[in-house]
Amino acid sequence: MQRSCHKRDTCEKTSCDELSDVMNLTHKFSNNLKLALLILTAMPLGLQADDWPIFRGPNQNGISTETDFITEGTPKILWKAVVGLGHSSFTVADGLAYVTGHDGENAGTVFCFDAVSGSEKWKYEYENPLDPNSYAGGTTGAVTIHNGVAYHLARRGLLSALDAKTGELKWKTHLQKDHEIKGPTWGFTGAPVPMGENLLLAAGEAGTIVKMADGSIVSKTKKEAGYSTPYLFEKGGEKLALVSYKTGYKCIVPATGKVYWEAKWMTRYGVNATEPIVSGDYIFISTGYGKGATLLKWGGPGTGDYEEVWKSRDMKNQMNAAVLVDGFLYAIDGNERHPETGIKCMEMVSGKTKWIDKSTAHGAMTVAGKHLLVVTEKGKFQIAPVSTEGYKPTLEIQSVPGKVWTVPVLANGIVYLRNENGHVAAIDLRK
């Protein structure tokens, strides 16, 4: 592993005190609370405490706060459905579950199911080519639920606002056709992020902002975006966001468009698909295609540029971002179809790998409480304790056929999964 410094700063060896700061529980709670307030301001009162209304959850960190669920044995599958081609994950709010799929010809669909029974409540179809490109094609971006409205950004750039309960179209606009915002090679993928009365979109090299009320443009950038969902955080009293673009990541002030810094990060094919992780002054970035990971350190507005703490190819997150628990990163490391790919644990501050388990192949994972919720690439759903000692599942069930690259979602005791061909399953973990 090679350690290096940003050209404008001198890299200093991380001290034990800094490691302690990162893992300080009070500090982490404060950061999570600020992020929750940023995203959940004006969130509808009907939402249940353990809903999952946005990609990577209410705190955008891939961690569910649920703890009272089955972690051993063999659970039952509540319901199954087929929604069509794609890799978009579920979102769940107010008793309803949302996911998207493609018919394999020229139409994408947003589906809404009863979260418990699986009965279809409504669906919204829109025109969009299949667009296969080194994979089967289909839908990729998750639906975002906010204040009773379902927002969806399709791969070609159609942004739709739908009544979350009925599916009635409130408004729509097309980023490429109406606003000349260039689409990424594999299509728009990041989920819309609520921000006050606006939505922050993964569109353009520094994001695009539209009004929730009618979809009109507040501000835009036109060059090619990355594939991650914008990540909101607060530092130095300012509301900031990290957005990806084709050749790197930027730290922006969404309200003004100011760019505090940009980290050049060019992967093969120009794919930056994962969300950064922020913990204290540290920012972790990792992508696939052999690129690897880096840990940056930034004191916030008024402190100048970031410094690079370390850079390594020991963690390579191709499709989904890592999850940070007590100073350690858990993630699927490696590219799909690569024999060395598997779930890995790494200490964030040092960049040292603790373990890797290749049995999952290029599956996906999330965290709930002190447990890893994992789906293998072949569709086996597993639960294992969060541990720096190794991966030891205590629960397993075959959920859907492979291939599975999509993160499982836990909401109100039920896990929702899907595969590439659109087979979805809801697994009952309620006690």
Mean pLDDT by 10 residues, the chain (431 residues): 35 39 43 50 57 97 97 96 98 98 97 98 97 91 98 98 98 97 96 97 97 98 95 96 97 95 94 97 96 97 96 97 98 94 98 98 97 98 98 98 96 98 98 95
pLDDT of residue 47: 58
User: For residues 191 and 54, is the Cβ–Cβ distance under 8 A?
Assistant: yes
Classify domain 16-428 at the CATH class level.
Answer: mainly beta
CA distance 302 to 282: 16
pLDDT at 12: 36
Domain ranges of the chain: 16-428
Measured CA to CA in angstroms, residue 253 lies from 239, 243, 256, 415 at distances of 6, 11, 6, 35
Q: What is the pLDDT of residue 268?
A: 86
Residue-level pLDDT at 22: 39
Strand 342-347 to 328-333 pairing: antiparallel
Residue 48 has a pLDDT of 73
